[in-house]
Amino acid sequence: MTDAVVIGAGPAGLMAAEMLGQAGVSVILADAMPSVGRKFLMAGKSGLNLTKHEAVDQFFMAYGDDLPEALSASLAEFGPDDVMKWAEGLGQSLFVGSTGRVFPKVMKASPLLRAWLARLDGFGVQMKTRWRWQGWDDERLMFESPDGTITCKPKITVLALGGASWARLGSDGAWVQHLPHSVSDFAPANMGFEVDWSAHMARFFGLPVKSVALRAGDTQSRGEFVISERGLEGGGIYSVSRAMREGATLYLDLLPDRSEADVRKAMKKPRGKASLTNHLRKVLRLDPVRIGLLQEFGRPFPDDITSLIKALPVTHSGPRPMDEAISTAGGLRFNALDRHLMITDRPGVFCAGEMLDWEAPTGGYLITGCLATGRRAGQAAARFALGSHVQF
């Protein structure tokens, strides 16, 4: 009989399987998709941002206030330095970018995933793809597979089923039906926002917006974003998306390195016959994209537009659909789990990763959170199966 079944082969599930395999537990790693780590590989297409190298207190702040004990402990035990050592142990040379973000030098996720799968194979972990979990039949796990319905009753189970974004890559949130009373509703996180643009903005579609600061509620950020045909997307928007989703107005500072007094003084320079657009270009060096945003969201202009340049309110129609979001908020509530990430009313069943009710911005925090909770759940599951003497 298999000792453990891990369901979900994203970063959290892979890490849980690694911990179990390292402890000598026999493991089946089951995933509904034809291959493992699909969302992980997609995340690596634009550069695999593994973690964020920064002060510990600043790192924890990214996950919001009042961290659940199990999440806080997971991150304390496996933080940015630990993630870096772990990746280097899989043969990945890393570099730290100017903002503290950590990437493999090859930038891609595939070399790391291949090395990781080889390590799991060395531990004897059995991979089962196209196994879609169907809940429990009494105490037995049920799967739909190419060979029909399969049931098994392992000593321990780790659920790492993901959130509810990017269904085509396996994160569809369908598992909620099997744990309905313990789940907070999903909401998009790290997502773009819809804007019904005026016709004059079409020439900017696909262009990045640089050299601005973003503020929504108490959240502030310096980062790029993109003007798309559908709205606003990209890292700068994602960093303030939680506050925007909760109703805070987005304000853009189009000249974050200049004070309001300095901008006002520059705007008072003689304009002559120059248009306002040309005056903005000449005295403030605003590029066409930022001028376009000012015209889109600032008209009709007051006599003194300095306050708009420094705090331009952005009108939008709400978040893009959840399935387009990088991640999701909501999920399995921590009050349904003990501090070791075990479901309190299902002894021997542990949970990890994005299926848990936590939220973090992009920039390495998401992957680190998944790895850390997967590690904690896997270690706790191994101790549950083999006893507290297991060492890691």
Percent of the chain with pLDDT over 70: 99
250 DSSP assignment: E
Q: Are 369 and 75 in contact (CB under 8 A)?
A: yes
- Backbone dihedral angles phi then psi of residue 177, each to the nearest 5 degrees: -60, -20
Residue 12 has pLDDT above 80, yes or no: yes
Q: Are 173 and 337 in contact (CB under 8 A)?
A: no
How many angstroms separate the CA atoms of 141 and 136, rounded?
5
Q: Which of 298-302, 333-337, 376-380 has the lowest mean pLDDT?
A: 298-302
Q: Are 128 and 34 in contact (CB under 8 A)?
A: no
Residue 45 has pLDDT above 90, yes or no: no
Q: Which residues contact 168 (CB under 8 A, 6 or more apart)?
A: none
Q: Which residues contact 172 (CB under 8 A, 6 or more apart)?
A: 164
Give the model's pLDDT for residue 295: 95
How many angstroms separate the CA atoms of 15 and 60, rounded?
21
CA atoms within 13 A on the CB side of 209: 29
Domains and CATH numbers, the chain: 4-188+324-386 (3.50.50.60), 193-314 (no CATH)
* Block residue for tokens 């819809």: 194
The secondary element (H helix, E strand) that includes residue 70 is helix 69-77
User: What's at 362, amino acid-wise?
Assistant: T
Q: What is the pLDDT of residues 179-228, one digit of tens each?
A: 988 999 999 999 999 999 999 999 999 999 999 999 999 999 998 999 99
Give the model's pLDDT for residue 216: 97
Q: What is the pLDDT of residues 134-156, one digit of tens each?
A: 999 988 999 999 999 999 999 99
Q: Are 64 and 72 in contact (CB under 8 A)?
A: no
Q: Are 323 and 191 in contact (CB under 8 A)?
A: no
Mean pLDDT along residues 297-325: 94
Residue 66 has pLDDT above 90, yes or no: no
343: left (phi over 0), alpha (psi -120 to 50) or beta: beta
Residue 379 has pLDDT above 80, yes or no: yes
Share the mean pLDDT of the chain: 94
What is the full DSSP assignment across 330-380? EEE-GGGB-TTSBBTTSTTEEE-GGGBS----TTTHHHHHHHHHHHHHHHH
How many angstroms separate the CA atoms of 5 and 377, rounded?
12
How many angstroms separate the CA atoms of 51 and 391, rounded?
26
Residue 77 has pLDDT above 80, yes or no: yes
Q: Are 16 and 160 in contact (CB under 8 A)?
A: yes
- Backbone dihedral angles phi then psi of residue 329, each to the nearest 5 degrees: -90, 165
Residue 391 has pLDDT above 80, yes or no: no
Question: Which has the closest alpha carbon to 358: 187, 233, 177?
Answer: 187
- Identify whether 300 is preceded by a cis peptide bond (ω within 30 of 0): yes
CA atoms within 13 A on the CB side of 228: 15
Give the model's pLDDT for residue 170: 87
Q: To 5 degrees, how large is the angle CA 382–CA 372–CA 112?
A: 95
Mean pLDDT along residues 379-385: 96
Give the model's pLDDT for residue 1: 61
Q: What is the pLDDT of residues 15-36, one digit of tens each?
A: 999 999 999 999 999 999 999 9
Percent of the chain with pLDDT over 90: 87
Confidence of residue 306 (pLDDT cuts 50, 70, 90): very high
Confidence of residue 286 (pLDDT cuts 50, 70, 90): very high
Residue 165 has pLDDT above 70, yes or no: yes
How many angstroms separate the CA atoms of 161 and 174, rounded?
9
